[in-house]
Structure 1
Amino acid sequence: MAREDIAREQEELAAMRTKGWNAGILRAVALWAVGLSSSAWAEVKLNPIFTDGAVLQQDANVPVWGKAREGEKVTVQFDGQSATSTAKDGKWMVHFKPHKAGGPFVLTVAGEENTITLKNVLVGEVWVCSGQSNMQFALEFDANASTEASTANYPKLRTFNVRRKNSVQPLAEVEGKWMECTPASSIYFTAVGYYFGRDLHKATGVPVGLIHSSWGATSAQAWTSLDGLEKEQKLHRYAEEAKKLAANFEQASATYPSELADYQEKLKKWEVEVGAAYKETLKSWTAENQKLKLEGKPVIPQPKPVQPRPTMPLSPDGWPNNPTVLFNGMIAPLIPYAIKGVIWYQGEGNAGQSQEYRTLFPRLIADWREKWGQGDFPFLFVQVAPFQNLPPEIREAQLLSWQKTPNTAMVVITDVGNATDIHPRQKEPVGARLALAARTLAYGEKIEYSGPVFDAIKIDGDRAVLSFKHLGSGLLAKDGDLQGFTIAGADKKFIAAKAEIKGDTVVVSSEKVRVPVAVRYGWENVPHVNLFNKEGLPASPFRTDAD
């Protein structure tokens, strides 16, 4: 019986109660409905991340899993491969051997009472796209949206947009479906993910699947598991906060419905209906010759103070920034889906805790790798863009995280930021640079994927000579003389400096600093900088006196 039929039966039973049916008859009918309900739930189920149009990871052992009645035998077939599992604790899982890129294929799941058939399944490269609002930012709002979307006909580029969900406990399932990239659907792709996937698809020639799981204005601790936080002493306060929230879940769940109903009732009383004449018309009356009439009768406007909006009760699952809740609700259910790697755009939400982020972010990366159990997969991330409220220390924390964490890459976007908008609309360079990093780290291409990165400082008299990694074809000052360098002596008072490219180095000096000690580059919230390599990739801001 379908769920709709079960719901209808339950409604009919409720109606029977109100009509005063014989209790014995009612009990018999109820038992009959429960039996049908149990039968319906006994059908084998496939985890919701597997839908028509799914993309599976090539050249990897691919797990497929779902639910079934205890002890039920489940057989899964895919392009000539067949695997069988027996449900234990209501769950089943099979693994397919590595498969080359291709498709479309059909995947079938057969239980003892029903069969599920998925069509148009591809095998290619699967990447998780996660973070906060700049990853959530849809192609629809990109600076080049209209032109790009009109030609975005890539049937082998697909996305699974995970519905936003926070939870105090790890969930087993997510909501969403796989969607092909067409001119109509492309606007719903994460813009960064779209440009990344488009370039990767063109470079590799294979299908690309993007599992998009992000939530705006969120912090890294929300995307880290409880176990992951507990493994680092410096992060134990977040682990304790998560455990306290989980411990209060049962009580909060019991009282939340009544609290929410009370809030909604108060909200109705708080709302004030505004007359149609208010919009785009006179809103105050100050001149002596002005009069206000309603239905022909004089009206004297009276001020009415606006009362504070009622406070919405906290959900039992907390806010999306509570530690662990987004890992539990939006990452844990994806595991162990076979993936190639992760692209990540976040950091704004932790800008006020830059020092802590040096520990938290690498711990998040390690946590995801541990939970997925697929080795140190590539983890590629974006250094936050210039913005008036983002201090340079958060970019430094990201730079240090890259330098200390194996098989990671960071892309710099100092050239596409907006001082007054935390969501720069030029997402194409962001996605394109992530794709360059993937082609190097994940696919072994010998190409430069990063701009210059500070390596060492050497003091030569009254000059500081800086050397760099990721030189590419050489250093370049874009649009004139080098900008953004400051220099200091022992007093650590940094002043604007002259900087020149000398071969593979940058020489920095100032007539006001006779014995330089340290140099900084782009060390401000909105850096005005122009050091690139000849591949067109910008240098990361840095300071030689980092603590």
Structure 2
Amino acid sequence: MMDGLRLNLCLILQISAFCYNDAAVRFANYYASHMVLQKAPAQAHIWGTGGAVGQSVTVVIDGKTVGTPMANGAGVWEILLPATPAGGPHNISVTSNGTTVTLSDVLFGDVWICSGQSNMGYQISQIRNYSSVVTSAMQRPNLRISELRQNALNATVKEPLIGTPWQKPGHDNTTHSFSAVCLMFAIELSQHVTQPLGMVETDWGGTPVEAWSSPTALAACPQHKKKRAIDPHLPSVLYNGMIAPILPMTIFGAIWYQGESNAGKPQLYACQIEAMISDWRAKFHQASKNQTSNTFPFGFVQLAPNRNVTGAHTGFPDLRWAQTAEYGYVPNPTLKNVFMAVAMDLPDYASPYGTIHPRTKEDVAVRLALAARGVAYGQQNIDFKGPFPTHFSQTGQKLTVEYDNGNTDISVRTTAGFEVCCGLSESHVCPGNGWTAAPISGHSATSVTLDTSGCQGHSHVVAGVRYAWEESPCDFKKCAVYGLGTNLPAPPFVKQAPFS
């Protein structure tokens, strides 16, 4: 009777630590055959359970013993594997008390976490020509995928729920339901790096950044009142169930597609996203025995368009600005080693999954992978950012915006998209209702000139300028300014006067 009660309690607690010490030796559930472990110079941190207190566990790679860690009082063993160059396959086994468990076909490479809400969870089968994308993934034997099951909890657990164990991509239901952005990011990246790539999907549609943030990260920003019920929208519940359990795994970086659910409070998001990134970095570093970098690369997708409307100047545009910690670009002094894909020019108003879920995930993934090459991998001569304004000059009813200090040639695809704010002459304060269209009246190779005559009379001055400040600012790939050689869109920005 007592054994049955204990077993049920262990299941309810999702195999809590005190239940491990009389079980057979095993790896933690997210270490599995066909997986990717982090390559040198980092050491892959692995752990597992089983054996009596103080029982030694023999860890072997390809027939060579690499360590004999002891199980602790909770029956948990852990070890840092020797730093291993990229490649494989390898066999890794653990033996204790006469029981041996082996992981086969293990590669060493770079491990990426793919997280966020529904646009990260958007499945590969939902994009156009998904079958050819899967075939492309299958042609890359160094690419492996795994998915965690959705799990909202009010306390952290040692192990996650596994939706898809580690596997090679294939024409199967698990690959077809895998994250489109995550898989296509890896496919694109694999054409430019030689090491294996292991992609771990952990996301939940419709969820706010608070749910993915630990209490430590939440404390860095204004707090919401806590509720007792468990719901995927509540603070820390997805961090507890879908991030905290995998913190001990040594990883290389993370990509993130989220923000739609926070569009109602964009001013707070600038603090929240910076706090979450910093906290994830610190906690992955600590839990992996300092093997995951505490400045690991973090990439995100700046929000795509939503409704086919004009005049929606709040919500999404403010959130896009907040995603960059109000700089307009990344990396920046607040968000270091961070990269992004601009997606505001990729509407899909005919998407059968709703306008908030555009099917144009390949463009997102290509832009994100390009930025990862420049930031995460430090590849030289990679132009991974769209043009960004660096100088403003006003003459009469003209305002000239120069990009990248005159070092980037631009392409102008439409005259629309810029606005200026008409302020009172005695100040440069921009009233909330002061914005008016400022069409492009001309451009050079590196600058655009705006017509500011909308601010007429002696009682008004140009108090600010902004670009693409709409929920859905343009038709598909037809915003105003792009890099001439890259076809990358200039990101949205807002600049208050004085402009010097």
TM-score range, shorter chain: 0.7 to 0.9
Q: Equivalent residue for 2:318?
A: 393
2:281 corresponding residue in structure 1: 369
**2:469 counterpart of 1:523:** yes
Alignment of 1:124-143 (within 5 A): 124-143=109-128
Residues 226 and 157 (structure 1 numbering): CA distance in 2 closer, same or farther, change over 3 Å? same
Go from structure 1 to structure 2 and tell me whether the alpha carbon gap of 1:348 and 1:107 turns closer, same or farther (over 3 Å shift). same
CA apart distance, 1:125: 1.2
User: Partners in 1 of 2:487 and 2:34 — Cα distance?
Assistant: 36
Structure 1, 159-168 or 73-82: larger mean CA deviation: 73-82
Give distance in 2, aligned partners of 1:143 and 1:496.
36
Q: Is contact 2:419-2:437 (8 Å) kept?
A: yes
The alpha carbon displacement at 1:471 in A equals: 7.9
| Letter of the 2:444 counterpart | K
2:89 to 88, 104, 110: 104
Contact 1:44 1:113 in 2 (8 A): no
Alignment partners' CA distance in 2, 1:507 and 1:428: 33
For residue 341 of structure 1, report the CA deviation from its aligned partner. 0.5
TM-score normalized by the length of structure 2? 0.82
Please, which of 184, 200, 210 is the counterpart of residue 211 of structure 1?
A: 200
CA contact (8 A) 1:452 1:470 kept: no
Distance 1:39 1:333, change over 3 A: closer
2:123 and 2:444 mapped to 1: Cα distance? Answer: 42
- 1:405 is matched by which residue type in structure 2? L
- Of residues 191, 194, 211, the one that matches 2:183 is 194
Partners of 2:406 and 2:447 within 8 A in 1: no
Output one character per residue of 1:330-389: Cα deviation in whole Å (capped at 9) or x when no partner. Answer: 000111211110000000010001010011110010110110112100010000111138
Secondary structure at the aligned position of 2:149 is classed as coil
Larger deviation: 431-440 or 390-399?
390-399
1:180 paired with 2:168, answer yes
Partner of residue 129, structure 2:
144
Q: 1:75 to 1:81 in 2, by over 3 A?
A: closer
- 1:41 shift after superposition: 4.0
Q: TM-score scaled to structure 1, two decimals?
A: 0.75
Q: Answer yes or no: is the 8 Å Cα contact 1:448–1:470 preserved in 2.
A: no
- AA paired with 1:525? E
The amino acid that maps onto 2:161 is E
Q: How many angstroms apart in 1 are the aligned matches of 2:97 and 2:393? A: 73
Q: Name the SS for the 1:517 alignment partner.
A: strand
Which residue of 434, 448, 467 corresponds with 2:383?
Answer: 448
- Aligned match of 1:411: 341
Give 1:379's aligned residue. 298
The answer to whether residue 460 in structure 2 is matched with residue 496 in structure 1 is no
User: Do the aligned partners of 1:65 and 1:92 also contact (CA within 8 Å) in 2?
Assistant: yes
Give a deviation string over 1:237-277, Cα, whole Å, max 9, x none: 24x62xx63xxxxxxxxxxxxxxxxxxxxxxxxxxxxxxxx
What is the CA–CA distance in structure 1 between the aligned matches of 2:275 and 2:384, rounded to whole Å?
A: 24
Whole-angstrom CA distance in 1 between matches of 2:146 and 2:405 = 34
The answer to whether the Cα contact below 8 Å between 1:457 and 1:544 also exists between their aligned partners in 2 is no
> Amino acid of the residue matched to residue 94 of structure 2?
V
Contact 1:451–1:470 under 8 Å retained in 2: no
| Aligned CA distance change for structure 1 residues 143 and 545 (closer, same or farther; 3 Å) | farther
Question: For the structure 1 residues 354 and 471, does the alpha-carbon distance in structure 2 shift closer, same or farther, using more than 3 Å as the test?
Answer: farther
Give the distance between the partners of 2:324 and 2:448, measured in 1 at CA: 20
Report what 1:168 is aligned to: 154
CA distance in 2, matches of 1:546, 1:104: 59
Which amino acid letter does the alignment assign opposite residue 496 of structure 2?
A: D
Alpha-carbon deviations, 1:49-99, whole Å to 9, x = none? 101101011111111101123211112122446022111132111001221
Question: Could you tell me which amino acid in structure 1 is paired with residue 439 of structure 2?
Answer: K
Q: Find the counterpart in structure 2 of residue 260 from structure 1.
A: none
CA contact 1:152–1:186 (8 Å) conserved in 2:
no
C-alpha distance in 2, partners of 1:406/1:332? 23
Q: Is 1:84 aligned to 2:68, yes or no?
A: yes
**Inter-CA distance 410–150: structure 2 relative to 1 (3 Å threshold):** closer
What is the alpha-carbon distance in structure 1 between the residues aligned to residue 261 and residue 170 of structure 2? 32
Residues 156 and 181, structure 1, Cα contact 8 Å, conserved in 2: no
Cα offset, 1:536, TM superposition: 0.9
Partner of 2:57: 74
1:64 equivalenced with 2:6 (yes/no): no
CA offsets 1:29-49 (integer angstroms, 9 cap, x no match): xxxxxxxxx999431121011
Structure 1 pair 196–472 and aligned structure 2 pair: CA distance change class (3 A): farther
The 3 A distance-change label for structure 1 pair 358 and 453 is same
Equivalent in 385, 390, 397 of residue 462 of structure 1? 397
Q: Taking structure 1 as reference, are residues 471 and 350 closer, same or farther at Cα in structure 2, changes over 3 Å only?
A: farther
Superposed displacement of residue 115, structure 1: 0.9
Contact 2:463–2:497 (CA under 8 A) maintained in structure 1? no
Partner of 2:361: 427
2:410 corresponds in structure 1 to 475
Residue by residue over 1:157-214, the C-alpha shift from the partner in whole angstroms, topping out at 9 and shown as x without a partner, is 1111001101111111013210211233542321001110001112112211001100
Q: Which runs of 5+ in 1 are unaligned?
A: 1-5, 12-37, 246-313
Shift in Å at residue 544 of structure 1?
1.1
**Relative to 1, partners in 2 of residues 1:451 and 1:111: Cα closer, same or farther, differing over 3 Å?**
same
Counterpart of 2:402 in structure 1: which amino acid?
S
Q: Offset of 1:459 from its aligned partner?
A: 2.4
Q: Which moved more, 1:125-134 or 1:433-442?
A: 433-442
For structure 2, the residue ranges without an aligned partner over 5 or more in a row are 9-18, 286-292, 425-429
Paired residue secondary structure (2:57): strand
Cα pair 2:124 2:177 within 8 Å, conserved: yes
Q: Secondary structure at the match of 2:79?
A: strand
**Corresponding residue for 1:507?**
449
Structure 2: which amino acid aligns with 1:178? W
Q: 1:470, 1:139 → 2: CA distance?
A: 40
C-alpha displacement at 1:473, in angstroms? 4.9
Q: CA-atom RMSD, angstroms? A: 2.4
In the aligned structure 2, how far is the partner of 1:214 from the partner of 1:39?
A: 28
Cα separation, partners in 2 of 1:41 and 1:501, compared to 1, 3 Å: farther
Deviation at 1:546, TM superposition (A): 9.5
Counterpart in the other structure of 1:345: 257
Q: 1:39 to 1:325 in 2, by over 3 A?
A: closer
Tell me the SS of whatever aligns to 1:53: coil
CA contact (8 A) 1:414 1:527 kept: yes
